[in-house]
Structure 1
């Protein structure tokens, strides 16, 4: 009798284990496709208008809207998305480690990066530009000669301006773009340079609305793509289809207007998938 009881108990335990396995016990990870699971998406946390983690824990910006739309097309509801801060220097590693399923974080498509990751898109064509005060007389690059130009330490944007169009510009490097924008507001600097989308995102903040303008220099072409782990063609194809739908149903333009509109950002038309502007 004792042996039969043990055997019966074991059978029950085994049946329960098999049932749990068959039902997919446990949470699904970012490799699943909706159905109650979670997906991890890499974004920036410190770029207003693009990828920003708000003080209350919410997320906002054009990249966030694109990521949310794409995830929706992959079968995930907003509450199934886990946004992960993905800094520029760690983007390739985050994908190769599997920390995130894909990355939407002002990720410019370049040959060097394409050797390490695959890119869906592009989903936005940005350009290096200048942000100045609304009443500034700076209207072209040469106007920067003798003026104070701000960019972030480690960025090549300011040096690019100095090398190409304004050799006598006075470079001022701060630790972050927030400091540059604050310096522009106070008069400590005369212009800030980086991608026009990033500048527009800052200028669109409530505390800066109406104070700044983009000069419109288009000093470079920045093709923003969605980074995917190298070789993950299935996810790549799904994201490209999602981006095409986002453009065709008007959601892409709505996201542009919502996040950049207050800065009078004259965005390029939505790029075609695979069309990299040199």
Structure 2
């Protein structure tokens, strides 16, 4: 092979290597641009969803009531924020998603913020995660101003705490695996393993209704639902609205017993430390205003309605039984 031929071959090899290098660079740039585009697309989607939420909140017409009674609520106005205890793990009621909260209880808290602080008042509501087991401790310690967390106004609770409402009525039922064909009534829970959140009034309710049910507790209802799905438990029993939230997340996995099986009255109220009667009256007027201006309806349609639940009648303020 001549020197000239060898030089040509080497040149061609270098050119081929350069072509491969350029192809790799172009491919790398394309991948990077695609990734950036995907990130930008997700960011745009997140912004659109956030803007949509703002628009939905903007649909409320709740007017400010500056006649705030001294004490709990006046102190909140002075501090420029209202601290509200909410559930972080109950779909449709109170659920934390990223840095925001969603659900009917969350919407009620926003309406209260607007009532106290005026336009944009929902931004002055500070949410604090609570569980069924610590709601009352948080109220007594002052860690939260009010609790809006699927908090049923049982007679014994009403004696120990001040409650506004009810703002929603439901009843206790049971959720089972969709594959479970044996449990059709609350009576069928006899001998079955039933999960209930620690500290929930649903424990005593089920003990009275079906003493033969084998009740065990978990930290929250999210854990209960997950363990019904994996077969650890036969059922979870609590308020139908809570159960509906978990079913809405996985419709093929769960089944709720017929509503005729509801065996308690569960009037959801807004809880405060005992003695806050003036604050209770103020919040009751806010709830009535939400009925009259249909903000309550908007909150329902944004949450339960979007999941297919039929809108119930407005609960009567101060009435804690369905009779």
TM-score using structure 2 length: 0.65
Matches of residues 90-129 of structure 1 in structure 2 within 5 Å? 90-129=134-173
Q: Which of 132, 144, 152 is the aligned partner of 2:189?
A: 144
Work out the number of aligned pairs and report it. 246
Worse-matched range after superposition: 126-135 or 114-123:
126-135
Pairwise CA distance, 1:65: 0.7
1:183 aligned onto 2:220: no
Match of 2:209 in 1: 164
TM-score using structure 1 length: 0.74
Q: Which of 70, 84, 87 is the aligned partner of 2:128?
A: 84
SS of 2:291 mapped into structure 1: helix
Max Rg structure: 2
Pairwise CA distance, 1:40: 1.6
Pairwise CA distance, 1:48: 2.5
The change in CA–CA distance for 1:35 and 1:140 in structure 2 (over 3 A counts) is same
Pairwise CA distance, 1:239: 0.9
The change in CA–CA distance for 1:270 and 1:148 in structure 2 (over 3 A counts) is same
**Does the CA contact (< 8 Å) of 2:195 and 2:236 recur in 1?**
yes
Match of 2:100 in 1: 58
Pairwise CA distance, 1:153: 4.6
Structure in which a larger fraction of residues adopt helix: 2
Question: Which segments of 5 or more consecutive residues in structure 2 lack a partner in the other structure?
Answer: 1-71
The change in CA–CA distance for 1:88 and 1:148 in structure 2 (over 3 A counts) is closer
Cα RMSD of the aligned pairs, angstroms, is 3.1
Pairwise CA distance, 1:147: 4.4
Q: Which of 121, 125, 131 is the aligned partner of 2:175?
A: 131
The change in CA–CA distance for 1:176 and 1:95 in structure 2 (over 3 A counts) is closer
Match of 2:74 in 1: 31
Pairwise CA distance, 1:154: 5.1
Pairwise CA distance, 1:75: 2.0
The change in CA–CA distance for 1:87 and 1:160 in structure 2 (over 3 A counts) is closer
TM-superposition CA deviations, 1:213-248 (whole Å, max 9, x none): 321211111111111333333322221111112122
The change in CA–CA distance for 1:119 and 1:79 in structure 2 (over 3 A counts) is same
Question: Which segments of 5 or more consecutive residues in structure 1 lack a partner in the other structure?
Answer: 1-28
**Does the CA contact (< 8 Å) of 2:133 and 2:198 recur in 1?**
no
